């Protein structure tokens, strides 16, 4: 599940207040932001980066109606066709009695489905590894990663980030996708993994 190997310019910021105008200016200058890694959720950053609205809730809705139909079809099949039981003289098709179970399955399907979808979208899974652009992104740095395209001049971009207020700037060539395996002391690229 490799995304490919690309060249990135990485700028690290130590303040939200510097980060926001920097994100804005970088976008305005026409550079392509790969992602911004932050130690905590930054309110409004997705908006500043111009990321489209997530479709996770649409997926959630689809999982939910899957749960609803699963519950209703299964129970109506069991209680009217497969094994009809007389429960307190109620009709076999006892819809009110099924509503709580239908509700529970709706919630269960949408919750589990959305968690798994979220993990997939964020490239999170057991035993899966992903390249870290800066270890302090999980501690106290806001790490902005800019992808170098054919037209990007990496040197120019570095000085651009310097003026935007970045504390540390470097260039990295890294795997963008996720892979199953281990990290090494010197990180191996996906290309060097067995079975590439």
**Residue ranges binding another protein (CB under 8 A):** 43-44, 53, 57, 61, 88-91, 96-97, 99-100
- SS3 (DSSP) at 13: strand
Beta carbon of residue 140, minimum distance to another protein (angstroms, whole number): 24
CB-nearer residue toward another protein: 89 or 126: 89
Under 8 Å between Cβ of 176 and 4: yes
Mention every residue, 6+ apart, whose C-beta is less than 8 A from residue 118: 56, 124
- Per the document, the length of the chain is 196
Total Cβ atoms within 10 A of residue 142: 27
Q: Which residue, 96 or 135, has its beta carbon nearer to another protein?
A: 96
What gap in Å lies between CA 128 and CA 123, rounded to an integer?
Answer: 8
- Alpha-carbon 5 to chain mean position: 19
Q: What are phi and psi of 175, to 5 degrees?
A: -75, 130
Return the number of the residue (101 or 173) whose C-beta is nearest another protein: 101
What is the nearest approach in angstroms of another protein to the Cβ of residue 46?
A: 12
Nearer to another protein, 4 or 44 (CB): 44
Q: How far is the CB of 190 from another protein (least distance, A)?
A: 37
Q: In the bound complex, what is the minimum distance in angstroms from residue 96's beta carbon to another protein?
A: 5
CB of 90 to another protein, least distance (A): 8
Q: Which is nearer to another protein, 94 or 189 (CB)?
A: 94
């Amino acid at each position: 599940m490799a995304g490919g190997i690309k060249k990135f310019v990485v700028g690290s910021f130590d303040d939200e207040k510097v980060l926001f105008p920097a994100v804005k200016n970088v976008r305005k200058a026409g550079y392509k932001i790969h992602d911004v890694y932050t130690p905590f959720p930054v309110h409004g950053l997705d908006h500043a980066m111009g990321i489209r609205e997530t479709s996770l809730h649409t997926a959630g809705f689809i999982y939910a109606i899957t749960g609803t139909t699963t519950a209703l079809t299964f129970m109506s099949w069991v209680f009217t066709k497969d094994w009809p039981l007389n429960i307190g003289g109620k009709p076999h098709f006892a819809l009110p009695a099924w509503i709580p179970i239908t509700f529970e399955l709706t919630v269960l399907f949408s919750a589990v489905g959305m968690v798994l979808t979220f993990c997939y979208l964020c490239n999170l899974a057991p035993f899966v590894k992903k390249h870290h652009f800066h270890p302090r992104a999980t501690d106290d740095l806001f790490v902005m990663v800019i992808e170098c395209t054919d037209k990007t001049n990496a040197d120019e971009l570095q000085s651009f980030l310097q003026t935007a207020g970045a504390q540390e700037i470097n260039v990295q060539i890294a795997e963008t996708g996720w892979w199953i395996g281990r990290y090494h002391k010197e990180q191996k690229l996906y290309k060097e993994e067995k079975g590439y």
